[in-house]
Amino acid sequence: MRNKYIELAINKLGIAFNSLDLTFHQMNTGVPGDVTSYWPGPDDEDVLICVFKGKQIHEPFHRQDFFFINYAYKNSYQALSEKYNNLITINEDECYIGQPYSGYALRADNNENVVIIGVLIRKDSFFREYLPTVYTDSALFRFFIEPQTNKFSDEYIHLPVTKDHAIRTILELMVVEYADKQEDTQRILKSMLQTLLLEIARRYRIEKHGADTKSLTEQIINYMGDHSDVVTLKDIAAHFSYHPNYISTLLHKETGRKFTEILLEKRMERAVLLMKNTSLSLEEISVLLGYSNHSNFYKAFKEYYGMPPREYLKSIS
Query: Are 171 and 251 members of one domain?
Result: no
Listed residues 183, 210, 237: the one ending a domain: 210
Whether residues 62 and 202 share a domain: the answer is: yes
- Beta bridge mates, 178: none
| Domain endpoint, select from 210, 227, 258 | 210
Which segments of the chain have a pLDDT < 50? Answer: 1, 84, 148-154
pLDDT score, position 63: 86
| Domain CATH for 150 | 2.60.120.810
Give residue 161's domain range. Answer: 2-210
Domain count, the chain: 2
Residues 20 and 80 in one domain: yes
Q: What pLDDT shows up at residue 203?
A: 86
Angle between helices 216-226 and 138-149 (to 10 degrees): 60
Q: What is the pLDDT of residue 127?
A: 79
Residues 40, 78 within the same domain: yes
Statement to judge: residues 185 and 273 lie in one domain:
no
Share the mean pLDDT of the chain. Answer: 87
- Claim to verify: residue 239 and residue 206 sit in the same structural domain: no
Q: What is the pTM of this model?
A: 0.75
Residue 196, pLDDT score: 94
- Residues 23 and 39 grouped into a single domain: yes
In one letter, which amino acid is 48? L
At residue 32, the pLDDT reads 72
Residue-level pLDDT at 92:
95
pLDDT for 150: 42
CATH of the domain at 295: 1.10.10.60
**170 and 195 Cβ atoms separated by less than 8 Å:** yes
Clarify whether residues 195 and 309 are in a common domain: no
Tell me the DSSP string of 128-188. Answer: HHTGGGGTT-HHHHHHHHHHHH-TT---EEEEE--TTSHHHHHHHHHHHHHHT--TTHHHH
Residues 147 and 247 placed together within one structural domain of the fold: no
Condensed to tens digits (0 to 9), the pLDDT of residues 97-156 reads 988 887 888 999 999 999 999 999 998 888 778 877 777 677 777 777 765 444 444 468
Residue 267: which of 294, 295, 230, 235 has the closest Cα?
A: 230
**How far, in Å, CA of 62 to CA of 25, rounded?**
9
109 and 46 both lie in a single domain: yes
Contact in structure between 6 and 175 (CB atoms under 8 Å): yes
Last residue of one domain, picked from the residues 188, 210, 232: 210
Residues 179 and 241 occupy one common structural domain? no
Q: Does 109 share its domain with 230?
A: no
